[in-house]
Amino acid sequence: EGKKYWYSKPKKPSPVAFSWNAHLSQTFKNARSFEDEMITVVFYGKLRELFGSEMTVEEKIATVGQLVDFLAKRKPEVEQLRKYLLFSVNQKQVSPETAVHDGDRVAIFFIPTGG
């Protein structure tokens, strides 16, 4: 015994309609705008004094070098430290030209030279 409807019984979606809806749902779920980009930055040495131990950057930044530019705009002292910085992205040492992506964890190390 099924339910009785005063209107026509709802139809089950066809497999094609279901897969298309699932595809659209996943597409919109994966869609990101620039505002959604987030990079976690961890600071060591002198930079930790300037920025704290960690921060989240929610800007569209393409490379590690652009990230340093972003930080230098907030704290001009960063520009003087630039030549002493080492970088890692997701625990791999990288150069300033290395691309960064949403969800990456960038560590910036201040390594002063000694004499």
Portion of the chain with pLDDT greater than 90, in percent: 63
Q: Provide the pairing of β-strand 85-89 with 92-94.
A: antiparallel
Q: Residue 74 belongs to what domain range?
A: 34-110
Nearest Cα neighbor of 110 from 41, 44, 42 is 44
Kindly report the backbone phi and psi dihedral angles of residue 69, in degrees, each rounded to the nearest multiple of 5, phi listed first.
-60, -45
| 81 in any annotated domain | yes
Q: How many distinct structural domains can be found in the chain?
A: 1
* Integer Cα distance of 77 and 91 in angstroms: 25
Rounded to the nearest integer, the mean pLDDT of the chain is 82
| 25 in any annotated domain | no
Q: Output the pLDDT for position 5.
A: 56
Is residue 78 scored above 70 in pLDDT? yes
27 versus 113: the higher-pLDDT residue is 113
* Integer Cα distance of 83 and 96 in angstroms: 11
pLDDT in tens, 23-65: 555 555 444 444 557 999 999 999 999 999 999 999 999 999 9
